[in-house]
């Protein structure tokens, strides 16, 4: 079901600078998955394969984060033991390494530490896991409520940030997704879905990447949009993940959150090193 974007039809102002819009059409792919693109009359754009890839990735992203959130809740709230997968995932993607005090940030870092009332306010492993859990819960809420994905459309785009531009000169030509931050991010996480701009993804890239890699892109951008996470040290960066203890460290890094979710939900530590092919072809079936 495709229809003219209400904002175009009604002539509503944009949130950012400039009043020009590139995309003009909305299409509801399924309950909870709405896309936007520039219609190209007389052509088959976006074609069915592209829509199928975007739809599948959106569903995979929300299922992955829901499963990961459940696993975090079991460890943090129900005090179930951490699995080896869980321990390895936290080490690989947050640099939360059992026994390591993260440069003095933590007082102790003990897997499955027995409960003690005195430990409730201690900066320990559980304190970090709870912060990760809160992020995953908020992401799960937003992704499972519904996602709105706008085509980045690098190959034909002639409007950049609300103003006319030249095709091929988009400032994000090699990106696979982005959002625009609105205002300051000093408050950290926010439940307000209007806090930042919408999620833009490259429909073209979604045709070439695997299901889990596409889901990773959506989760990554959702972490920026809904959690206000600003860090962009990607999993293919040799310096990934950033240190846990620094401001702007792994807790504020979009890929740390995304790859943690995917690893927990798919049963294997994904994106294990900067050379991993998971960055474009992370394997795994639909969940």
Tell the smallest beta-carbon distance from residue 275 to Zn ion (Å). Answer: 20
Window of 5-13, 18-26, 162-170, 249-257 that interacts with Zn ion by CB under 5 A = 249-257
Tell the smallest beta-carbon distance from residue 229 to Zn ion (Å). Answer: 8
- Write the binding mask 180 to 219 for Zn ion: x where contact by CB under 5 A, - elsewhere: ----------------------------------------
- Write the binding mask 24 to 43 for Zn ion: x where contact by CB under 5 A, - elsewhere: --------------------
Window of 7-15, 92-100, 126-134, 254-262 that interacts with Zn ion by CB under 5 A = 254-262
Window of 4-12, 63-71, 155-163, 248-256 that interacts with Zn ion by CB under 5 A = 248-256
Measured CA to CA, the distance from residue 263 to residue 285 in angstroms comes to 13
Tell the smallest beta-carbon distance from residue 254 to Zn ion (Å). Answer: 4
Q: Which residues contact 75 (CB under 8 A, 6 or more apart)?
A: 81, 82, 86, 129
Which residue's structure tokens are 């909305």? 26
Tell the smallest beta-carbon distance from residue 232 to Zn ion (Å). Answer: 4
Beta bridge partners of 159: 164
Tell the smallest beta-carbon distance from residue 193 to Zn ion (Å). Answer: 18
- Write the binding mask 148 to 167 for Zn ion: x where contact by CB under 5 A, - elsewhere: --------------------
Of 124 and 252, which CB lies nearer to Zn ion in the complex structure?
252
Beta bridge partners of 183: none
Does position 232 bind Zn ion by CB under 5 A? Answer: yes
Question: Which residue has the closest beta carbon to Zn ion?
Answer: 232
Tell the smallest beta-carbon distance from residue 171 to Zn ion (Å). Answer: 14
Of 38 and 182, which CB lies nearer to Zn ion in the complex structure?
182
Tell the smallest beta-carbon distance from residue 104 to Zn ion (Å). Answer: 28
- Give me the residues that bind Zn ion (CB under 5 A), please: 232, 254
């Amino acid at each position: 079901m495709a229809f003219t974007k209400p904002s175009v039809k009604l002539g509503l102002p944009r949130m950012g600078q400039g009043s020009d819009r590139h995309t003009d059409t909305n299409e509801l792919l399924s309950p909870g998955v709405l896309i936007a693109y520039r219609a190209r009359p007389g052509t088959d754009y976006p074609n069915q394969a592209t829509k199928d890839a975007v739809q599948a990735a959106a569903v995979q992203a929300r299922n992955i984060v829901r499963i990961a959130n459940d696993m975090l809740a079991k460890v943090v709230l129900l005090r179930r033991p951490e699995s080896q997968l869980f321990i390895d995932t936290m080490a690989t993607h947050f640099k939360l390494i059992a026994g390591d005090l993260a440069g003095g940030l933590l007082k102790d870092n003990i897997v499955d530490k027995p409960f003690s009332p005195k430990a409730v306010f201690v900066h320990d492993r559980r304190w970090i896991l709870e912060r990760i859990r809160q992020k995953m819960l908020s992401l799960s809420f937003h992704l499972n409520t519904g996602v709105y994905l706008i085509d980045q459309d690098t190959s034909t785009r002639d409007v950049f940030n609300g103003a006319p531009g030249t095709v091929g000169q988009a400032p994000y030509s090699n990106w696979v997704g982005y959002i625009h931050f609105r205002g300051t991010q000093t408050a950290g996480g926010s439940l307000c879905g209007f806090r930042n701009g919408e999620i833009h993804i490259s429909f073209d890239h979604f045709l070439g990447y695997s299901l889990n890699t596409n889901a990773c892109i959506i989760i990554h951008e959702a972490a920026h949009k809904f959690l206000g996470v600003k860090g962009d040290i990607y999993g293919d960066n040799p310096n990934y993940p950033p240190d846990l203890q620094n401001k702007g460290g792994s807790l504020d890094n979009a890929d740390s959150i995304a790859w943690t979710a995917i690893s927990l939900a798919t049963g294997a530590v994904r994106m294990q090193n900067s050379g991993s092919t998971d960055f474009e072809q992370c394997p795994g079936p639909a969940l």
